[in-house]
Structure 1
Amino acid sequence: MDFLENTTRNLFFTGKGGVGKTSLACASALALAEQGKRVLLVSTDPASNIDEVLETDLGDTPRPVPSVDNLHALNIDPEKAAEAYRERVVGPYRGQLPEAIVRSMEEQLSGACTVEIAAFDAFAGLLGDPRAAEGYDHLVFDTAPTGHTLRLLSLPSAWTGYIETNTSGTSCLGPLEGLSAQKGVYAGAVAALADGARTTLVLVSRPETAALEDAARSCTELRALGVGNQHLVVNGVFRASDDRDPVARALEARGQRALAAMPAALVELPRSERPLRARAPMGLAGLRVLLGTEDAPAPQPAGIATPEGETFERLVDSLERDGRGAVMTLGKGGVGKTTLAARIAVALAARGHYVHLTTTDPAAHVEAAVGGELPTGLTIGRVDPQAETERYRAHVMATAGADMDEEGRKLLEEDLRSPCTEEIAVFQAFARTVARAEDEIVVLDTAPTGHTILLLDAAQAYHRELGRQSQGVAPEVEHLLPRLRDPHYTHMLICTLPEATPVHEAAALQADLRRAGIEPAAWIANQALTPLTVTDPVLRARQAQEARYLREILAEHHSRLIIEPWSEDYS
């Protein structure tokens, strides 16, 4: 592809979930390695699946990819990075301070914000420390979905500024020695990101309206962060080869409409296009096909018996029985959670229920998904991180800071300028939204898998952090986990596409939920070709692959599966 010709040392792949970032990052790393370049492929995504794409077991240190000279890869494991970070911060105080204080420090460092800064710490070490990646010609980063990526890329400046202006010596991450020691590395990361001679940001999109709009927002926001060397890749562009196939014609037309209406911010970028392939790009052979000109041989369709009686309408029947409660759509980004949440909310409102549709996803499009005039009884909201952070800061200053002297209020204000404050504020808003379901039906379009798990796993850690800053835990936070575990109160819907990576990530999400005592109500396999009649060879090949993953869901993951057919209205 164009951006691989005389490319920069650092390549970042980002975009809306499900657009093919990981596949393109892996394929690009493979292509550079086969050109004789020494390449390190790094995933900073909490829901990384480069192991599956490369068909190689990876860890948090570089490992060679079998059968490929010059290519190494690693996963930055956020939990393991957090464990190492905690020990680096707390370790020097063991035996120097009373045990109770050390325990308190460990508890203080148990929240989701510590996990995020620790993962960033590992990322910044590779990018900002010249010695960390010696011996490699290229670093290729498979980054997290857009909302998380923007936060990740803004952290160098945010944390550098926080370290420089904080005078108390403490933060929600504990003693600042753990951060200030990394100050030079963080500054190096900032410089590398902003240097177009060293770093290329590859915006990946699909020929779909929502994905292109998301890429345009990323383009603008990343430029504001100083990341100006950008290249757009439109992945999965479909050209029908059978004019008699109405599904093929509709799929091609939808893509062409989206490309014709591409946002202005993207039009001026250098651009590459990759066609929709008959096979998912798994393994080295699949990755070579992704960047090549020839497609792989198409498999023949194999039938599958769809679950009898399991329809979207029957699902809505089960969700309305109590007339209240929370409905949550979860899954990998790009599987259609927002569209499904909007459809469920509209259907419930049409049946006479009071319904509130909202999202915790930073890249949400719930209003566009509903479209047109809202039905009676339906309201739409959004957890706005900036507004929630300002509200939380004001509340803490008015409560915990009310009786403090001037010096104490200054220290508290410094603590609240930490980037972690946003995570706490958004979490509280999430808990308040779930609490609304006591009186109405609340449909939540949740964030992509990694962020969702951070929210759900963080409840007890946030209890401690909220108590530390605001001298109390709100009832809605206290009751959150019991509500999420109550199947009559909360209905968790695992959303996926009938493809390898979304299904396997959905299975991992379900396992995490079950460990937390939460049982999903059903799975939805969205945008499936299986229920449709298609004759185009590429679509028939993809239909054939679906059967394997639909059977896997029913046999290994969940007995209740709703298969929703592909629709040209989806974007």
Structure 2
Amino acid sequence: MNQPTFLDHLPKFAFFTGKGGVGKTSATCATALALADQGKSVLLVSTDPASNIGQVFDQHIGNQITTLNTAPGIDALEIDPEAAAATNRESIIKPVRGLLPKTEIQAMTEQLSGACTTEIASFNEFADLIADPDLTSDYDHVLLDTAPTGHTIRLLELPGDWSQFIDEGKGDASCLGPMAGLESRRSVYQAAVNALSDPARTVLVLVARAQRSAIQEAERTSRELAALGMGNQHLLINALMPDLDGDSLAAAIRDQEHKELASLPSGLARLPYDTTTLHSRNVVGINSLREFFTATPTQSEQAANHVREVAGKYPPLADLVDQLAEQTHGLFMTLGKGGVGKTTVATAIAVALAERGREVLLTTTDPAGNLTDTLNGTVANLTIAKIDPDQALREYQNEVMATKGTRLDATGRAQLMEDLQSPCTQEVAVFRKFSEAIREAHDHIVVIDTAPSGHTLLLLDATGSYHREMLHQMGDNLVATPLTRLQDPDYTKMIIVTLPETTPVLEAEQLQCDLQRASITPWAWVVNRSVAAAHPTSEFLHTVADGEIPQIKHVQHLTERMAVVPLLPTPPIGQDSLHSLSQSAPLARSASAR
């Protein structure tokens, strides 16, 4: 087994973080096994809602420390973040249930149901492991799958009584709710933060793929946490395409990955880093874990026929476009976790509809200038509107600080500003901008990249403030709010975008449940960057493709409509490339042309 260099001087605690699907869990488990093989005692902890540590080691683990039968020297613990969030939520709501009106209880429940609540509840679960040396004294190393974000660390470092801050109405509905009632653990949090900031005790392993979005996320995480004192960082570029003789698709992807590595952002380029090679099968079992850091690709001769038989039946994006093109107006939104390609899918849909003569407005959080470059100029019938999320957030922050903030003391203003820097607040701010585009869908087709989550929609609806604001802005003749328009399947069609991998599919399934809580049923799913749909030629890629099939089948059970978009040899840049995505078999032609 080739050892990654970060094992050379590994401190007590190692956090593995990165976008969903980049291989955090596999990297964490493989590292734990490498340490155990050296005779080290290891505690392996996951706070990832998509955790499959038990599957990797073929043993049930759950929310208690469990000795792994297949890997002597490793104990494991899977913290269920949803269960932790539910417990935290109930501890806050139970004392006032029966005392407050039902609508207020519903508002509190939704305020405590977002991603920030889950993350802080998770941190609350493993804070003791970091803060109390006695709890981990029997272990040489504690490996944690998924690290807290910079936002969570900032929240935990801020002083003050969060319960009072919420009860007195100083903060708007956003991410502060999770902190209410937790100030009694302030000393534990401070000890945990101190350990995270100590390079002698903690290292942060940034896991990424050699893809632009994953690298950008790693760079943002690195910068944000370094600013908070977590400067001991190591980069792990996972799953590089191996050198496969005679496979033009693999060669093109390999070239693109090396270009990304050659142009790493300066913040990442200065970090020490290791690389791993793409595995053709899921990393499950002791043998595959021991091979995780090796560079020898494995393959299956039986996979090719299975892939050819099944992949040929996958519906292309063109099928969804045909149905969308039947409308002359309406709102089409792509949703999904970062890095799954929702911007590309939204743009491809917009281009395809414009080419069919529809008047289309494409609204995205990407700068309009970059999209214009991507399209190689203008496209007939297509208009691009710019929404800058940072600018939207600044405008909203300034508005709140100029009103509510003027009534607070210095501590209260600091707490309010932290509240206004939360992910939930930015989503609210961007949604205010999106609402203008929602109205325009009365007259023509509007394609929106990145829709708000169901949590944000319910949060806005429960508080009533945004609803009243829209009534005030739009006048008494308003017959529907933005939320009711999103709930109308004839007016709005939401499309979930994911990848044919375990974690992205699970995250997308959670997103669908989130939307259903807001009475929104996604119209369709798009499985993006599928090797199976790309008609590979090598046995290695056939084996990779075969591993995608169970995930695609799972998606078929979750939705009435689905499209599978093949992995392109190069990123889809330019109108011709985007056009090819919405055709029946773009990759068969692309691969043969190379």
Checking the alignment, whether the CA contact within 8 Å between 1:219 and 1:266 is kept in structure 2 is yes
Instruction: Report whether the alignment pairs 1:502 with 2:499.
Output: no
What residue number does 1:180 align with? Answer: 183
Deviates more, 1:177-186 or 1:123-132: 123-132
What residue number does 2:192 align with? Answer: 189
Checking the alignment, whether the CA contact within 8 Å between 2:15 and 2:203 is kept in structure 1 is yes
Instruction: Report whether the alignment pairs 1:540 with 2:542.
Output: yes
- How far did 1:3 drift? 0.8
SS in 2 for 1:18: coil
What residue number does 2:251 align with? Answer: 249
Give the alignment partner of residue 157 of structure 1, picking from 142, 154, 158: 154
Deviates more, 1:528-537 or 1:5-14: 528-537
User: Residue 50 and residue 373 in structure 1: after superposition, are their counterparts in 2 closer, same or farther (change >3 A)?
Assistant: farther
- How far did 1:415 drift? 6.0
What's the TM-score once normalised by structure 1's chain length? 0.81
Pairing of 1:61-76 with structure 2 (within 5 A):
61-76=64-79
Give the alignment partner of residue 203 of structure 2, picking from 196, 200, 207: 200
What residue number does 2:457 align with? Answer: 459
Checking the alignment, whether the CA contact within 8 Å between 1:383 and 1:426 is kept in structure 2 is no
What residue number does 1:567 align with? Answer: 568
Pairing of 1:287-326 with structure 2 (within 5 A):
287-292=289-294, 294-300=296-302, 301=304, 302=306, 303-306=308-311, 310-326=315-331
SS in 2 for 1:181: helix
What residue number does 1:45 align with? Answer: 48
Give the alignment partner of residue 223 of structure 2, picking from 212, 220, 223: 220
Aligned length: 545
1:183-232 per-residue CA deviation (whole Å, 9 max, x = no partner) reads 21222222122211111111222222333333333333332222111111
Pairing of 1:122-133 with structure 2 (within 5 A):
122-133=125-136
Instruction: Report whether the alignment pairs 1:427 with 2:424.
Output: no
Checking the alignment, whether the CA contact within 8 Å between 1:18 and 1:334 is kept in structure 2 is no
SS in 1 for 2:160: helix
SS in 2 for 1:68: coil
% identical aligned pairs: 35
- Stretches of structure 2 lacking an aligned partner (at least 5 in a row): 573-594
User: Residue 484 and residue 65 in structure 1: after superposition, are their counterparts in 2 closer, same or farther (change >3 A)?
Assistant: farther
User: Residue 186 and residue 245 in structure 1: after superposition, are their counterparts in 2 closer, same or farther (change >3 A)?
Assistant: same
Instruction: Report whether the alignment pairs 1:258 with 2:260.
Output: yes
Checking the alignment, whether the CA contact within 8 Å between 1:339 and 1:369 is kept in structure 2 is no
Pairing of 1:69-468 with structure 2 (within 5 A):
69-89=72-92, 99-100=99-100, 107-108=107-108, 110-111=110-111, 112=114, 113-143=116-146, 152-163=149-160, 170=167, 172=171, 173=176, 178-242=181-245, 244-292=246-294, 294-300=296-302, 301=304, 302=306, 303-306=308-311, 310-350=315-355, 351-359=357-365, 367=371, 370=374, 372-375=376-379, 377-382=382-387, 384=389, 386-396=390-400, 413=413, 416-419=416-419, 422=422, 423-430=424-431, 432-434=433-435, 436-440=437-441, 441-446=445-450, 455-465=453-463, 467=465
Deviates more, 1:196-205 or 1:66-75: 66-75
SS in 2 for 1:36: coil
Give the alignment partner of residue 25 of structure 1, picking from 18, 23, 28: 28
SS in 1 for 2:254: helix
User: Residue 570 and residue 192 in structure 1: after superposition, are their counterparts in 2 closer, same or farther (change >3 A)?
Assistant: same
Deviates more, 1:256-265 or 1:42-51: 42-51
User: Residue 498 and residue 408 in structure 1: after superposition, are their counterparts in 2 closer, same or farther (change >3 A)?
Assistant: closer
C-alpha distance in structure 1 between counterparts of 2:432 and 2:67, whole Å: 43
Checking the alignment, whether the CA contact within 8 Å between 1:326 and 1:434 is kept in structure 2 is no
Checking the alignment, whether the CA contact within 8 Å between 1:196 and 1:227 is kept in structure 2 is yes
SS in 2 for 1:291: coil
- How far did 1:539 drift? 1.3
Checking the alignment, whether the CA contact within 8 Å between 1:204 and 1:235 is kept in structure 2 is yes
C-alpha distance in structure 2 between counterparts of 1:43 and 1:442, whole Å: 40
Letter in 2 for 1:416: L
Checking the alignment, whether the CA contact within 8 Å between 1:156 and 1:189 is kept in structure 2 is no
Checking the alignment, whether the CA contact within 8 Å between 2:11 and 2:202 is kept in structure 1 is yes
C-alpha distance in structure 2 between counterparts of 1:343 and 1:162, whole Å: 47
C-alpha distance in structure 2 between counterparts of 1:60 and 1:24, whole Å: 21
Checking the alignment, whether the CA contact within 8 Å between 2:213 and 2:338 is kept in structure 1 is no
- How far did 1:471 drift? 11
SS in 2 for 1:563: strand
Letter in 1 for 2:153: P
C-alpha distance in structure 2 between counterparts of 1:236 and 1:430, whole Å: 35
Checking the alignment, whether the CA contact within 8 Å between 1:524 and 1:564 is kept in structure 2 is yes
SS in 2 for 1:543: helix
Checking the alignment, whether the CA contact within 8 Å between 1:304 and 1:551 is kept in structure 2 is no
Letter in 1 for 2:562: L
C-alpha distance in structure 1 between counterparts of 2:53 and 2:446, whole Å: 35
- How far did 1:7 drift? 0.6
